[in-house]
Amino acid sequence: MKQTVIKVLDQMADKTIELGRKLFKTPELGFKEFKTKEILMKELSDAGFKVEREFARTGFSVSMGSGHPHIGLIAELDAIPTLGHPHANLNDQSAAHTCAHSTQCAIMTSVIKALKEVNVTELPGKVTLFFTPAEEFTDMAFRHELITKGEIQYPAGKIQMLYEGIFDDVDLCLHLHAMGNDQYRFASDSHLAGFIYKKFTFVGKASHAAVLPHLGVNALNAFTLFQSAAGMLRETFVDEDKNRFHGIVTEGGQTVNSIPERVVYEGYVRSFNTENMKALSDKLTNAAQHCAQALGAECIVEDTPGYLPFKPCHELSLIVEENMLHFCSPDQILHDEKSVAAGDIGDLGVFVPTIQFGYGGVGGVIHGKNMFIEDEQRLYIESAKVTAMTVIDLMSHPDKVKRVVDSFKPAMTKEEYFEYLNR
């Protein structure tokens, strides 16, 4: 069956590449991927698929087969603001597919079509392809509006899907993401960091900056003192956690002629260790509040949980790697990469054994205005083959899937998870 699926994917190659090009030129931000959904649905309904379920505003799934093993495939729908990209959507914050999520959609669509062609459902079990919205943590004002209206409860696609129970029946999930690193053909067992988004509002008291500075309280000074304290805390960062604390001043004062009354600093705390990430976040809150207090100011800190660190399922990675080796030599696979980037796949990976393997073929800089698809054959067709072959391996060996599922221990319960998100 694996040989046949390779042949089918080769026959489909032109259509897959054409779909990829179309999606690349239709970038939409998260929870707004309506045109993208329409393009994908057309392609899938031509191949005899019907929408099985709709969720998270723009997300949807198609499936075939029934029962278990139940293999989940993940394709992300959204684009990211990128000023100056040739295909940027000028009607909405220059959204462009510079994270190459469009390619995931084309690849996974060809995978499920090819699996249907080779009658994978003759094997017991089910395959579901989930099209997931809003992976990029951006456009927050719009998402908070949707939350206020009650259309969604959480600002990221997979978190919303976890809330809606969309993954409850799947045994494991296969996901893939384009790599920025072109030294390698594929990446396997890749980890991602998690993050917490922090907003610090330093509140002082305005007065005439030249005549009456003694009557004011300088919020910018309070922030500056906090920057020193944050710098001093960096010596407590644990090396293997790859902690980061970085941000931007989004309001630096009101007018040069007045002592700054309000200064806002927004930033991320990143880490590979969830507990240390929370502890570090609390330390920074503490430092900000006390630095402000030391100068007679105040600091209000608002935390928004971002994504959890992603830990790939090693047993699954090994199965995918065997299939990668049909297309490259062992030294062309990057192993065990620890990327300080983050994704909501991290949250999914806490509850379902999941992998996100990396594939190459992208030119320019990921998230940059010069990003483009350099090698279509390799990017679309080779990655589709690796994925389809892996699904066939898993469906042909329900025992392997059972071993993966039995050895998997969720790092927290759903209750603990939503308590963390809602705190």
Interface positions, 145-184, toward Zn ion (CB under 5 A): none
| Contact letters for Zn ion, residues 392-411 (x by CB under 5 A) | --------------------
Three-class DSSP category at 335:
strand
Three-class DSSP category at 365:
coil
Task: Give the one residue of 99, 193, 277, 334 binding Zn ion; rule: CB under 5 A.
Answer: 99
Q: How far apart are CA 267 and CA 282, in angstroms?
A: 14
Q: Which is nearer to Zn ion, 9 or 99 (CB)?
A: 99
Shortest CB 131 distance to Zn ion, Å: 14
Residue nearest to Zn ion (CB): 99
Of 82-90, 91-99, 115-123, 282-290, the segment contacting Zn ion by CB under 5 A is 91-99
Q: Which is nearer to Zn ion, 99 or 196 (CB)?
A: 99
Contact status: 40 vs Zn ion (CB under 5 A): no
Q: Which is nearer to Zn ion, 126 or 177 (CB)?
A: 177
The β-bridge relationship of strands 372-373 and 362-363 is antiparallel
| Contact letters for Zn ion, residues 48-87 (x by CB under 5 A) | ----------------------------------------
Shortest CB 232 distance to Zn ion, Å: 34
Q: Which is nearer to Zn ion, 135 or 261 (CB)?
A: 135
Q: How far apart are CA 366 and CA 363, in angstroms?
A: 8
Q: Which is nearer to Zn ion, 9 or 95 (CB)?
A: 95
Shortest CB 260 distance to Zn ion, Å: 37
Q: Is 139 left (phi over 0), alpha (psi -120 to 50) or beta?
A: left
The answer to whether 75 and 109 have CB atoms below 8 angstroms apart is: yes
Q: How far apart are CA 319 and CA 391, in angstroms?
A: 10
Of 94-102, 157-165, 258-266, 348-356, the segment contacting Zn ion by CB under 5 A is 94-102
Of 99-107, 237-245, 295-303, 376-384, the segment contacting Zn ion by CB under 5 A is 99-107
Of 97-105, 235-243, 279-287, 395-403, the segment contacting Zn ion by CB under 5 A is 97-105
Of 92-100, 111-119, 229-237, 411-419, the segment contacting Zn ion by CB under 5 A is 92-100
- Which of 267, 274, 346 lies closest to 313 in space, CA to CA? 346
Q: How far apart are CA 198 and CA 64, in angstroms?
A: 42
Tokens of 384: 């589709």
The answer to whether 130 and 75 have CB atoms below 8 angstroms apart is: yes
The answer to whether 266 and 208 have CB atoms below 8 angstroms apart is: no
The answer to whether 414 and 180 have CB atoms below 8 angstroms apart is: no
Q: Which is nearer to Zn ion, 12 or 99 (CB)?
A: 99
The answer to whether 71 and 395 have CB atoms below 8 angstroms apart is: yes
Query: Which residues contact Zn ion by CB under 5 A?
Result: 99
